[in-house]
Structure 1
Amino acid sequence: MRILYGVVGEGMGHATRSRVLLEELSKEHEVHIVVSGRAKDYLAKRFQNVHGIWGFTIAYEGNSVKKWQTVLQNVTGAVKGWPQNIRQYFELVEEFKPDVVVSDFESFSYLFARNHRLPVISVDNMQLINRCKHDPAMLAGFEDDFETTRALVKSKLPGAFHYLVTTFFYPPLRKERTTLLPSILRPEIIDAKSEQGEHLLVYQTSTTNAALPEILKQSGLPCRIYGMRRDITEDLHDGNLVYRPFSEKGFIDDLRTARAVIAGGGYTLMSEAVYLRKPVLSLPVQGQFEQVLNALYLEKLGYGMYAPELTLERLRDFLQRVPRCQEALHGYVQDGNKLMIEALREQIARAAEYKGRWWEEFEQAEATKG
């Protein structure tokens, strides 16, 4: 079977989890990949038939999203980017005729599918925002952000044949054609043996919180810090703090042996920490409600704590909670990627049977609702 697989390039989480599924699909099918941003280089090293396209980007300043800068840089990028995407489109039309499209929150592959009347299988964590019910009490104070984000997510891949949604929390469904499944994990995480250490693993790319190092020093615990000193090529020691250059192997080793994790609200690292049963103090990027929602559910389950910013009081509160979080995490169970791979294979087989009929049936159903 021929599969077109789209991967959004904003952030590397989409690429690392897509790599897992692409490795499985490539064993059985002919797969072409469309991807933007840094994710292209990551996937091109591992797979053939990787097509680079222009994609949406987000502008940051410190630990918050700059909304107007994001709009401006994407308008500018679209002037050059869309012609490139159209060129890629015609190349695919001539050279590759897919039977099914899989999209990890990526629009080009979705539009390709819609224009060619092909079924789309959505694989991501974002659709949970729109396709599940969320407790109003938990969203109190975030109602406007939630509705804005839900509208954006809803508009991203409407009418997909099926939505496979990765998650470590399971709110009730409110939409059909939706399956909640455990997080997609890199083989390196599945193979990692979780051990109890004393250090805190800190992953922060923001440099605006000048008080962060001093707060961490006052914890009295060894802290292994990634992301804050991207200029270093070897460990830099500062009292109980160790700034480390990024190394996938070193990072995973520090994660599996950590006492706890301090990081943003990104889904990938959070889900890996949950799998390895490491409590997380989550500091979401301001302006990204998806990260806030991840953190709120993390806290609701007792797996960690949400904090809009790091203070010494919040850090001390979190460290006191760590034993209770470890106990809660002890009940988390996941059999690697088995359920996700089985579900994806099943939906691909079902979608291939529909092929040209799917959009007609969907549009008829929508017209009936209207």
Structure 2
Amino acid sequence: MKILYGVQGTGNGHITRARAMAKCFHEQGVSVDYMFSGREPSQYFDMDIFGPYCTFRGLSFVTEDGKVQVFKSARKLNLLSFIKDVRALNVDSYDLIINDFEPVSAWAGKLSGKQVINISHQAAFYDPLVPMLSVASLHRRFISLFAPSDLALGVHWLPFGGRILPPFVEVNCDNKQSHSFKLVYLPFENLDEIISLLTLFSDEDFIVYHPDMTEKKHIENCHINPLNRVNFIHDLQNCNGVICNAGFELSSEALTLGKKLLVKPLQGQFEQLSNAKVLVDMQRATIMHSLNEFTLDNWLTEQGVEKVNFPSDPAPLINWLLAGNYQEPEQLCEQLWLRV
């Protein structure tokens, strides 16, 4: 079976999920071609696991100061360039296209009549039981148009419906320690505003990762770092709390390690607003809707949480994909939830 794996590159969570899949494909000796879209090629990092990969511009949104900028996103949208990308991606030789909410490969597969399976967190929102805090029907329509597929398997923290998988989380719980510092990853927020908030709490230590950084820097009680997957996971394992946007993969890693969470959902992004609500309903996180010192102060005094044992090995999913019988995904999902 020849497989193309298309990955949305605007957020690191999609790439994190693809890394776990790529590792398992490699261990089973399965050759997979990977393609990414949604960010500048120079902004990808720690990509060795994927071997030679290709990138396209794709479709993405513009964010400023923790908010999705609708009008700037619309102005950035270049449909002619997107159509050229879809036509340039030749999928004729592939038997299967796996898609993590990536629009170029999804549309190329649809137009070529290829089997496209969407395995993503966004696909979970097809299920009406998954909370959505705004116009649900419009957002579900958006998901289906953005990255169309023949079969959609969602990924979420709870088995809301029959076609939702648990996340595969690779962090090593055996190396987990408990130091006093807090890990901060708020890539959509203004870095100066983040530091202004954190330095108000001089008795606390914060390790901050931000895409605006190119080298390490130390400001009062904040150690600020450029993005680096290996160093980030090390600090995630050793911190005693995580402050982040309400993305899916980092929250999944924090839940697996039993780290308390303070999440600031990206305003205007329905997925993160929904994630924040689910985390609060699970009693696994506190929400702050702005960089608020009072919310942070209260959260710093909260106790830790019990960890959630999500599976780390996606082999059952990959074996199911390779078997080629996609008629009853509910049995696969049920099997994987028994491991949580």
Structure 2 regions of 5+ residues with no counterpart?
329-340
Residues 1:197 and 1:130: Cα distance change in structure 2 (over 3 Å): same
Contact 1:31 1:49 in 2 (8 A): no
| Corresponding residue for residue 346 of structure 1 | 320
Q: Percent identity?
A: 21
Letter in 1 for 2:250: L
Contact 1:235 1:245 in 2 (8 A): no
| Corresponding residue for residue 362 of structure 1 | none
Task: Give, in whole Å, the separation in 1 of the partners of 2:250 and 2:184.
Answer: 11
Residues 1:29 and 1:225: Cα distance change in structure 2 (over 3 Å): closer
| Corresponding residue for residue 294 of structure 1 | 275
Q: Secondary structure at the match of 1:259?
A: coil
Match for residue 193 of structure 2 among 206, 210, 217: 210
After TM superposition, list the pairs within 5 Å mapping 1:48-127 onto structure 2. Answer: 48=51, 50-75=53-78, 78-89=79-90, 92-93=91-92, 97-127=93-123
Structure 1 regions of 5+ residues with no counterpart?
355-370
- 1:164 partnered with 2:157: no
After TM superposition, list the pairs within 5 Å mapping 1:278-317 onto structure 2. Answer: 278-317=259-298
CA displacement at 1:12 relative to structure 2 = 2.3
Q: Return the index of the structure with the highest Cα Rg.
A: 1
Task: Give, in whole Å, the separation in 2 of the partners of 1:28 and 1:228.
Answer: 34
Q: Secondary structure at the match of 1:335?
A: coil
Q: Secondary structure at the match of 2:232?
A: helix
Task: Give, in whole Å, the separation in 2 of the partners of 1:71 and 1:279.
Answer: 36
| Corresponding residue for residue 361 of structure 1 | none
After TM superposition, list the pairs within 5 Å mapping 1:1-370 onto structure 2. Answer: 1-26=1-26, 27-38=28-39, 42=45, 45-48=48-51, 50-75=53-78, 78-89=79-90, 92-93=91-92, 97-134=93-130, 142-144=133-135, 146-158=136-148, 160-161=150-151, 163-171=152-160, 173=161, 179-186=163-170, 189-190=171-172, 193-205=175-187, 206-207=189-190, 210=193, 213-218=196-201, 220-227=203-210, 230-231=213-214, 233-238=215-220, 240-320=221-301, 322-323=302-303, 326-327=304-305, 329-330=306-307, 332-337=308-313, 340-351=314-325
Contact 2:176 2:257 in 1 (8 A): yes
Task: Give, in whole Å, the separation in 2 of the partners of 1:341 and 1:82.
Answer: 34
Contact 2:8 2:100 in 1 (8 A): yes
Letter in 2 for 1:73: K
Q: Secondary structure at the match of 2:6?
A: strand
Task: Give, in whole Å, the separation in 1 of the partners of 2:149 and 2:228.
Answer: 40
CA displacement at 1:49 relative to structure 2 = 5.3
Q: Secondary structure at the match of 2:274?
A: helix
May I ask how many residue pairs the two structures share in their alignment? 324
TM-score when normalising by structure 1: 0.77
CA displacement at 1:39 relative to structure 2 = 8.1
Task: Give, in whole Å, the separation in 1 of the partners of 2:52 and 2:325.
Answer: 22
Residues 1:286 and 1:298: Cα distance change in structure 2 (over 3 Å): same
Q: Secondary structure at the match of 1:22?
A: helix
RMSD: 2.8
CA deviation string 1:278-302 (max 9, x = no partner): 1110001111110111111111111
Task: Give, in whole Å, the separation in 2 of the partners of 1:154 and 1:23.
Answer: 28
Contact 1:236 1:243 in 2 (8 A): yes
CA displacement at 1:253 relative to structure 2 = 1.9
Worse overlay, 207-216 or 270-279 = 207-216
CA displacement at 1:21 relative to structure 2 = 1.0
TM-score when normalising by structure 2: 0.84
Residues 1:349 and 1:42: Cα distance change in structure 2 (over 3 Å): farther
Task: Give, in whole Å, the separation in 2 of the partners of 1:230 and 1:208.
Answer: 9
CA deviation string 1:297-341 (max 9, x = no partner): 111111111121132221122233x31xx34x24x112312xx33
Contact 1:166 1:182 in 2 (8 A): yes
Residues 1:237 and 1:183: Cα distance change in structure 2 (over 3 Å): same
